[in-house]
Structure 1
Amino acid sequence: MKYFPLVIVLLILLPLNAQVKPSIGPVKKDSVQSDSTDFKGSFIKSEQKEQSKTLTVADYKIISFERDTSFLDTTLSIRKDYKYNYLRRDDFELMPFSNVGQPYNSLGKNFDNLSVYPKIGASAKNQKYLEVEDVRYFNVPTPLTELMFKTTFEQGQFLDAMLTLNTSRRLNVSIAFTGSRSLGKYQFNQSEAGIFRTTFNYRTANNRYWVRGHYASQDIETEENGGIAEKALQFESGEEEFLDRSRIDVLFNSANGQLADNRILGKRYFLDHQLNLVRPRKDSTKTKSTLLAIGHRFNYESKFYQFNQNSQSDSFGATFIGPIADRSTLKTMFNEVSAIFSNKTLGSLSGSVSLYNYNYFFNSLLVLSDTQTILNKLEGEEISIGGDYKNKIGPLSLSGRLRYNLSGELAGNLFDALATYNISSNSSVSGGIHGSSRAPNFNFLLYQSDYENFNWQNDGVFEKQQIQSISFGFDSKFLGNLSAKYSAIDNYTYFASGATEEQIAAGQQNAFVRPLQESETINYLKVKYQKELKWRKWALNNTLMYQEVSQTNQVLNVPQFVTRNSLYFSSDVFKKAMFLQTGVSFKYFTSYNMDGYHPLLGEFYTQNNEELGGFPLIDFFINAKVRQTRIFLKAEHLNTIWGKQYNYYAAPNYPYRDFVIRFGLVWNFFS
């Protein structure tokens, strides 16, 4: 496979030694804490620490984009099982397709904007794409390697490998690669991905200057078969012939010469550095003293989305030419200069000014008539100012973020505020507000295709989407975790099909999908509760979510109720040489008008013709931990063995996966 050379390089580098030979010991409870404020202090271990100290996993630091510091976690828990998937995060609010590397449909929504700038679009293809905020940095006393492996569906594997080391006490580097290939159970359903990233961070000996950065190259590609062609006669009938899913007819195949695929590719260069004008010092209470600094952040990214198809398909309508080769490109450059001030009393306050350049384009100018022309590019620059605030006053933690657009047509405004109060060491309460406005993604504003129906230009027509939300959270070790968020969405922008009933009956619903904007306000409420009950070596982990949407027109569809319940047993075995967890997970969501998937656009779209869902997902798992190795074995969708109703879909015409046994591991090496 194409990522094997990088894996070999990682394994060759394993024997490298750093400054201290590790003797991994236990982790003290008081060391299991994150540090969201003292980035400069925790970024590199103090020069005065004795080299002979006993190392623990708490000495292996992981630093997020927001400069929060955590440590390597080698434990085994039910949450690790939830994150052991293609995305490597909890997919409770997602519904995966049948094959690894394919899109995930949404069971829940989150409308809070993290950025004031629109993205390229093709959001169904971007769920695995690592943004700037997703890249991690490290500070380790000795070389650390993490390997994650998991089987896929026919002729492929999923592997995520990372190596990080400190070449000195002040310089850390890392290299990582995620590779995936899976043929899939259905015809013409292969997926591939290659995600490479390398990071560095450095600080000077006097702590006056620090810098970090990364380079990322990402390529995510899937064959698109258009979904199954005869779902009632083949998939839902349950006939033994079609239990071999490769026998089921799909819309795009080699017989009709309509083979299709889509692809996201991106390259990014990121740099973040800061000069401390007043060096931070520690006072007698070991609290950070006054800091005055200037910072600069740079990000250049080139990204494209393409859809290819051998010949025209009636599913998408008529074409100008063939074969089809659609490609959109977005190149962006972001520069931000900031000033930072903080002290013990006032907290941390920063102000910034940023310049954002964008160029979104196609390779042709489309003239539809003497009076109608679809332009081939949107380009310009946006100037914004911003501010950030953090402070902790006793048990009260405050944080806020502001972004305001001074010039430009696409960027919007953003305001975030969050307050958290620690009632005790075991419970806390929080409240937040969010307000933002932003232009829709670029593929809503401008799109060109060799298919006639997929050409539009809406810049200057669509208004900026506006979000106002309030949130509440209560976290308790004894009572569980409760969160609630209410959002009001104005100018909601979405894709939907304008096909008539006759066109839908003829299988042409996808040919008339276009971007639309809702003029009425949508009110969306989401309440989630999580609690684990334990009795001796048994545990029941419960996550429940309730959603309610108030809208004039039915443009936002979500299930009203989603639940996931895991009953499992945990124990040390083999004279405590292994820690074992085994049990059953149950997931269910009420039926609703599940979004359809559009392979040409790489987007999900609203549909109100077919109600899906209302079926259980039952998995049986056996997980084990031996030293720093976690082993995962799972029988997925176990209930299909005895169930005879083949009505489980991830999207209209896209079935969810059948019963399958998959295994893998996560392995940490300390050199």
Structure 2
Amino acid sequence: MRFFTLSAVFFLISFNILAQILDDSTKQVYGPKTVKYRLEKDILKNFDTQYSPDTLLDKFYKTDILNERNWLYQDLGNIGTSSKSILFEEQTDPATKLGFNTFNLYAPNPANFRYYNTRSPYTNLFYMQGSFGHTRLDFTHSQNVNPRLNFTLNISKYNSSKQIDATNSEQKLVDHWNYDLSTNYLSKNKKYTLLATFYHFNHKQIEQGGILVKDSLSIDIKDLRSNYRRFYDSQFTDGVYNNERLNNVHVYQQMMLRSGFQVFHTLDYEHQKYTFVDPVFAENSLQASYNIDIVSLASDSLIQNFTFGVLSNKVGFKGRYRGFNYLLHARQRFYRLDNKFSERFTTKLKSETFLGGSLGYYFKDSSNFLNADAEFSASLKNFLLNAKLSFKGLEGTFYQSVIPVALFYDNFDNGVLSWNNNFKGLSTTHINAGYNLRFKSISFRPEIANTLLGNYVYLDQKLKPVQTETVINITNLILNVGINKAKFRATNQFILNIQNAKEIYKLPTLINYTHLESNFTYAKVLKIYFGADVFFKSKYTADAYSPLLNQFYLQDDFKVWGVATVDPYISFQINKVRLAFKLIHANQGFRYQGFYTSPYYLAMPRSFVLKVDWPIFD
């Protein structure tokens, strides 16, 4: 009820604003063009690129990061839940990792932090509310102290609600919040640049274990009931959760010594804390979701609490010479793993040393380029190479790496599961090529990608790490087609996955994403967009999820997806305020009352979502 009340209020306010501004001729002094921001990756590559805040309606209707990335991930069906990529994703660091990655999609990335330069105070308010309990509130405030010094604060808070075993939408499933405080400074002579950010990330996921199987109620997709909260129970009792907290200090600085030549320094300190709690483990451990043998612990509860600290220090020099961008650096990295509840899953302070660099040539039109980045460990045992080409419509990538196995897979103990391995480094080779074609309003992009995974490590059906002896070969055939006209546009992405290890590396054979959109003008000034997203994955035996480990593991029986979901929307902009209304899974009940995104985890049922974004420039 509260959701529909809020929606009605926003709707009335929107048209009240419209009535006031239709004849408004007030001169706008400050706006998107007076607010600029830069990215560290551009500065590092010697680009003076400046961006303005996004005020367009394109893709504004998308309600979460999985939608934004065309749902090329596997998750637990609800916003903010544990996820993993379905297709290959490039690594950016050949160093040793901890190996807990299922919340990574929701964590901030220092490479994407915006360093603002504002002529007036800039504030952005974002609010999203869903009829099934999902809420999100984002706040940004940026202000220059003087023309060369800026401070910015970002805060993001969102949560999603339980869809099974809940009496109302107030019972949280995911509770997330993060904030960051950043500053950037440019000296008066423009030779010294400083970028610095502190951010905090806190992501808590209540673990339900998926749907509880009952003899009296089938959970087969063709027998699903529409009211999940009423008919389905979770496998676990209340109180089970996984939580990740992350604090990071990131500093980048550079000094220009002479024209085209700079020295730079990057400092990173990161402290991660992982917590798992099951207050009634003795009871919950009997459920299928844990997938373990009967164990006897001294206490009825099970608690895990460990921290991973990393200090990274990088120094180097860079510049431009006859159209080439070059960079050379050295990096020293220290890491340590501490565990309050198990001495076996710990790592004393260790160090890693890397040497690396990049070389790129950018043509005068800046859209055509060739760039290569590389980093090698001092022992030459581990390395990462990433080369990209863009030339007259042809785009290509060559990626190769040997990266240490994550600490989790080599040595782990939580009192229930344990192992001690000595796995080889993970070897990856990835090649991707695509060609952009355009004929009037029609665009066409065929693409092919091939990935070779050597020494691949996975969790088997018994939650034990296994390393393959043979190379996994994965080929992705991708076709992107689009049409773009003044009143209508459509895009379609079709992916065919071919591989030689279907029993180990689980992929849907077919993935398809379709987007349709049209628009019309109301009252001669208000352009309204309406359309729909259609997502489809062919049926496949996706990896199961282990709440005990917060990891995905191999299973062979439970099939997910095999159906399409349709998400219609409407969006418009009144002055600077963007609004969108979206109906998630609108086709629920047309064939099935739902579908699974992971074994025993249902996708979101039909729900209504409101989005509002309001930038303030003075």
TM-score range normalised by the length of the shorter chain: 0.7 to 0.9
The equivalences for 1:320-335 within 5 A come to 320-322=297-299, 323-335=301-313
Measure, in 1, the Cα distance between the counterparts of 2:177 and 2:94. 28
Q: Does 1:387 align with 2:357?
A: yes
Asked if 1:581 corresponds to 2:581, the answer is: no
CA shift at 1:630, angstroms? 1.6
**Per-residue deviation, 1:96:** 4.5
Gaps of 5+ in 1: 1-22, 26-53, 281-290, 367-373, 498-511
The CA distance in 1 between the partners of 2:64 and 2:280, in whole Å, is: 35
| Structure 2 unmatched runs, 5+ | 1-25, 43-48, 167-171
Question: 638, 642, 652: which is aligned to 2:590?
Answer: 642
Contact 1:294–1:338 (CA<8 Å) still a contact in 2?
A: yes
Please report how far the alpha carbon of residue 587 of structure 1 lies from its aligned counterpart in structure 2 after TM superposition: 1.4
1:461-476 equivalence runs, <5 A: 461-476=422-437
Report the equivalent of 2:328. Answer: 351
Partner SS for 1:336: strand
Distance 1:604 1:64, change over 3 A: farther
Bigger CA drift: 133-142 or 305-314?
Answer: 133-142
* Alpha-carbon displacement from aligned partner over 1:149-189 (angstroms, at most 9, x marks no partner): 21146556211211112221111221001101233222376
Q: Verify the 8 A CA contact 2:36 2:117 in the aligned structure 1.
A: yes
Asked whether 1:488 is paired with 2:472, we answer no
Tell me which residue corresponds to 2:123.
Answer: 145
Aligned to 1:62: 37
Secondary structure of the 1:638 match is coil
Amino acid at match of 1:203: L
Query: CA contact under 8 A between 1:433 and 1:470: conserved in structure 2?
Result: yes
User: SS at 1:122's partner residue?
Assistant: coil
The verdict on how the C-alpha distance between 1:268 and 1:484 changes in structure 2, with shifts beyond 3 A counting, is same
Q: Equivalents in 1 of 2:184, 2:221: separation in Å?
A: 57
**d(CA) in 2 for partners of 1:417 and 1:241?**
50
The Cα offsets for residues 364-392 of structure 1, whole Å up to 9 and x where unpaired, read as: 455xxxxxxx3532531001100111222
What residue in structure 2 maps to residue 271 of structure 1? 251
Q: After superposing the two structures, state which structure 1 stretch, 566-575 or 534-543, moved more.
A: 534-543
Residues 1:541 and 2:510 are matched in the alignment: no
Q: Decide whether the 8 Å contact of 1:360 with 1:442 is kept in 2.
A: no
The answer to whether the 8 Å contact 2:452/2:472 transfers is yes
- Which whole-Å deviations, capped at 9, do the CAs of 1:215-244 have from their partners, x for residues lacking one? 011100011011111277154488898724
- Number of the residue aligned with 1:251: 235
Secondary structure at the aligned position of 1:384 is classed as strand
The TM-score, its normalising length taken from structure 1, stands at 0.80
Code of the aligned partner of 2:557 = N
Deviations along 1:537-556, whole A, 9 cap, x unmatched? Answer: 222221222221123x6211
Q: Of 550, 556, 560, which aligns to 2:500?
A: 550
Q: Does 1:562 align with 2:562?
A: no
Question: What one-letter code is carried by the residue in structure 2 that aligns with 1:603?
Answer: Q
Query: Residue 493 of structure 1 contacts residue 517 of structure 1 at CA under 8 Å; is this kept in 2?
Result: yes
1:417 to 1:298, Cα distance in 2 relative to 1, 3 A: same
Deviates more, 1:216-225 or 1:602-611: 602-611
Alpha carbons 1:24, 1:55 under 8 Å: kept: no
CA distance in 2: counterparts of 1:263 and 1:365, whole angstroms: 18
Partner of 2:16: none
Post-superposition shift, 1:481? 3.4
Between the two proteins, what is the percent identity of the paired residues?
17
What CA distance in whole angstroms lies between the structure 1 residues aligned with 2:27 and 2:151?
21
* Per-residue CA distance 1:90-132 (angstroms, 9 max, x = gap): 24312443432212354x3124221112332222222201132
What is the correspondence of 1:117-156 to structure 2 with a 5 Å cutoff? 117-152=95-130, 154-155=132-133
Deviation of 1:250 (Å)? 1.2
> In structure 2, how many angstroms separate the alpha carbons of the residues matched to 1:244 and 1:523?
39
Distance 1:353 1:240 in 2: 57
Quickly say closer, same or farther: Cα 1:144–1:269, change in 2 above 3 A: same
Q: How does 1:175-324 map to 2 (within 5 A)?
A: 175-187=153-165, 190-230=173-213, 233-236=217-220, 243-254=227-238, 259-278=239-258, 280=259, 291-312=260-281, 313-314=285-286, 315=290, 316-317=292-293, 318-322=295-299, 323-324=301-302
Please state how far the C-alpha of 1:253 moved relative to its aligned partner. Answer: 1.3
Cα shift at 1:606: 2.2
CA contact (8 A) 1:125 1:603 kept: no
Q: CA deviation at 1:415?
A: 0.9
In 1, Cα distance between equivalents of 2:225 and 2:468: 45
- 2-structure distance, mates of 1:550, 1:24: 63
TM-score by length of 2: 0.86
Contact 1:209-1:276 within 8 A present in 2 as well: yes
Tell me the distance in 1 between the aligned counterparts of 2:522 and 2:160.
35
- Cα separation, partners in 2 of 1:24 and 1:557, compared to 1, 3 Å: farther
Cα distance between partner residues in 1 of 2:415 and 2:131: 33
Q: 1:133: Cα distance to partner?
A: 2.3
Q: Which residue of the partner structure matches residue 502 of structure 1? A: none
Q: Distance in 1 between matches of 2:90 and 2:156?
A: 28
Residue 407 of structure 1: CA displacement? Answer: 4.2
SS of alignment partner, residue 51 of structure 2: strand
Secondary structure of the corresponding residue to residue 321 of structure 1: coil
Q: Corresponding residue for 1:37? A: none
Quick one: structure 1 residues 482 and 321, their matched pair in 2 at CA, closer, same or farther if it must change by over 3 Å? farther
Aligned match of 1:402: 374
Secondary structure of the structure 2 residue equivalent to 1:328: strand
Which amino acid in 1 is paired with 2:211?
I
Name the count of aligned residue pairs.
Answer: 567
Query: Is 1:429 matched with 2:412?
Result: no
The aligned amino acid for 1:103 is S
Cα distance in 1, alignment partners of residues 37 and 498 from structure 2: 37
2:575 is the counterpart of 1:606: no
| CA RMSD between the two structures | 2.5
How far the C-alpha of 1:358 sits from its partner, in A, is 0.3
Deviation of residue 659 (structure 1)?
1.0
571, 580, 588: which one aligns with 1:632: 580
Distance 1:525 1:244, change over 3 A: closer
- Per the alignment, do residues 105 and 434 of structure 1 end up closer, same or farther by CA in structure 2, a change over 3 Å counting? closer
Whether 1:595 and 2:564 are equivalent positions in the alignment is no
- Pairwise CA distance, 1:627: 1.9
How far apart, in 1, do the equivalents of 2:79 and 2:319 lie? 46
**Deviation per CA, 1:477-497, whole angstroms, max 9, x where unpaired?**
443334332111101111221
SS at match of 2:464: strand
Quickly say closer, same or farther: Cα 1:234–1:69, change in 2 above 3 A.
farther
Cα offset for 1:306?
A: 1.4
